[in-house]
Copies of this chain bind each other. A is one copy, B any other.
Amino acid sequence: MTTPPAGTAGPLVAPGPAATRGPVRVVGTGLLGASVGLALRGLGIDVVLEDPSRVTVLLARDLGAGRLAEPDDAPPALVVVAAPPDVTGDVVAAELTAHPEAVVTDVASVKGAVLHALREHGADLARYVGSHPMAGSERSGPTAARPDLFVGRPWVVVGTPESAPDAVLAVRNLATDLGATPLTLGADAHDAAVALVSHVPQVAASLVAARLRDADPAALDLAGQGLRDVTRIAAGDPALWTSILAANAPAVLPVLRELARDLGAVVDALEEAGSAGTHQAVPDGALGTLAATIAAGNAGVARIPGKHGGARRVYDVVTVLVPDRPGELARLLTDMGNAGINLEELSLDHAPTQPVGLAAISVLPGLGETLEAELTSRGWRVAG
């Protein structure tokens, strides 16, 4: 990890002394594995790199993620397997056998399938603790690796009843040393959680986006921030997501079946509404189903934790017109800072044909009117 420069985020993320003991063996030196290597090397820990691709491992070495193995190496204290989900179980089993003193972890985004494979192998589960850092990038491979990739991210630690306490501690220490926040979950709970907060939303976003393939370009001109938000993650990689969804099928399926049941109820309600001809004549049952669907969404979205892990807040939102020139948004936020008001969230929208942006500024509840007055007095145009 690089030394934080003075005056920036440094003090907030500076690690203490590393708790992780080396040598650490990293198997798979793509984005995640090479990032682990870079971060550990920054902490002065000996890192040995391994990858089935000779080019990938040499690239990771040259980028500073670690060194290649040598014949008289000390045995690794910790092995981090950062392989694709569908081969992770086999690789972990092989590492447990090859390094009988080492704690072995992996970083695959699905945990039950890995554990299942290990049990089939009859692996030594006392020394295996799975993990899942909630970090990534739209890029891949060692050249996209970063020592700071895990800073501030949740890192799920997945022990089993067989896990030795020291092994669990070693993996928690790894997460903490890399700047992440360790969270403890069982394999089934982890897989159910990521199905709900990641895999099912991915499927939904992809299905909505797929409907746009044959859309009239004029229809797409009406696209607003809502559509952009719902479909942003639909740009994800098909090969990666196929692997994740297939590996987590047992956890994703029940949620998708519930989604399909609810969708069927909406379709039935709209068929009733449609056959009733005019809106006024729609039977109450159909309207009730539609209202219940939206209300259920209200209740669900309200449970997503807000910033810093607290309860979700309903912020005051002030929308400001910002000319699309370098420095204008900075000037806006400088004016906010001068007014002593902290930004909670910011989203930008753009006028379809004009060189002006709409900045929606979220601030703590109760501060909206103050912010509006402050910005207006500084010459900004506040929009609806």
Q: Decide yes or no whether A70 CB sits under 8 A from chain B.
A: no
In the bound complex, CA of A274 to CA of B253 (Å): 9
Is there an interface contact between B279 and A85, defined as CB atoms closer than 8 Å?
A: yes
List which A318-362 residues lie within 8 A (CB) of chain B. Answer: 321-338, 340-343, 345-348, 350-356, 358
Interface flags, A277-319, vs B, CB<8A=1, else 0: 0111010001100111111111111111101110000000100
The smallest C-beta distance from A276 to any residue of chain B, in angstroms, reads 9
User: Is the pair B238, A291 in contact by a Cβ cutoff of 8 Å?
Assistant: yes
The answer, yes or no, to whether A98 is at the interface (CB within 8 Å) is: no
User: Is residue A55 within 8 Å, beta carbon to beta carbon, of the partner chain?
Assistant: no
Q: Which residues of B contact A273 (CB under 8 A)?
A: 245-246, 249
A264 within 8 A of B: yes
Q: Among B241, B280, B356, which residue has its beta carbon within 8 angstroms of that of A152?
A: B356
Q: Is A204 an interface residue (CB 8 A)?
A: yes
- How many residues of chain A get a CB closer than 8 Å to chain B's CBs? 170
Contact B152 A295 (CB under 8 A): no
A99 at the interface (CB under 8 A from B): no
| Residues in B whose Cβ lies below 8 Å from that of A329 | 333, 343, 346
- Give the contacting residue for A218; candidates B151, B183, B336; CB below 8 A: B183
Listed stretches A41-49, A159-167, A188-196; interface member: A188-196
Contact check, A296 vs B249: say whether CB atoms are below 8 A apart: no
Contact between chains at A213 and B299 (CB < 8 Å): yes
**How far is A374 from B309 in the complex, measured between Cα atoms in Å?**
32
**Interface-side segment among A21-29, A60-68, A72-80, A229-237:** A229-237
- Could you list 6 further interchain pairs (A-B, Cβ under 8 angstroms) beyond the known A202-B226, A308-B353? A154-B352, A209-B301, A215-B300, A238-B292, A326-B336, A327-B338
